[in-house]
Amino acid sequence: MTIISLSILRAIKIKIMKKIILLISIFTVFTAYSQEIILPLNYEGSKDVPERGYLKDLFDVFNPYIGTWQGTWNGKTFILKIEKVTKELHSFESGYFYYRDRLIGKYIVKDNATGSIISTTMNNVNLQEAEIKSLAYPKENKFEFLYETGDECYVTGKIRLKGNPATNQLQYFYFPDEFWRFEECHVASAAEVLIPIPTEPMILTRVN
């Protein structure tokens, strides 16, 4: 009788242990599957970012650029506020997705003579509304940003910030992208499309 009870108990114990192991395995797989794969910013290039990859600013290379920068050109003042966005989701129709840290820029363009604001994106709160977004990462004291207008003509270009941000001064350059006037862009020529940000080289100084 005692022998039978012991064997039943052992069987129950094994059964419970198996269930625990199974639960732990499921939990481990689920956790591993749902977790992102953290990668340095410079992982990207000829290699593919894996699904659930997270291009993270592990070495804080973005931080020196964060802040407010200001410069003047053609009687106007350009104030550029650079902020860091973490874990921006990039998802695609194929189901593939990954994350990346990124800098975004908000700006004000003021008329120096009147003090009036010509253009501003300072009130944009959604990431999707950002007209200035960093591309890749800074290298050899050069950092490029994508600029895109929010209007129907959708002009795009690249902003290049050159110099060591620790000096609190950066050179600013603008390079226009290809631009075609599609149906929704009602201007007579590309030259008529308003680009509010500076399109000429200038010096930006950190003000905050």
Number of alpha carbons in the 13 Å side-chain half-sphere of residue 58: 9
Q: Identify whether the C-beta of residue 78 lies closer than 8 Å to the C-beta of residue 201.
A: no
Among 34, 94, 114, 123, binds another protein (CB under 8 A): 94
3 is a site residue for another protein (CB under 8 A): no
Among 9, 190, 194, 207, binds another protein (CB under 8 A): 190
**CB 148, min distance to another protein, A:** 7
Task: Give the separation between CA 112 and CA 76, rounded to whole angstroms.
Answer: 5
Among 31, 166, 183, 208, binds another protein (CB under 8 A): 183
Per-residue binding string, another protein, 52-91, x by CB under 8 A, is --------------------------------------x-
Does an H or E element contain 12, and which?
helix 2-34
Interacting span for another protein (CB under 8 A) from 3-11, 60-68, 112-120, 132-140: 132-140
**Residues that contact another protein, how many (by CB under 8 A):** 41
**Other CB atoms within 10 A of residue 103 CB:** 22
Smallest CA-to-CA distance from 179 within 202, 206, 151, 205 is with 151
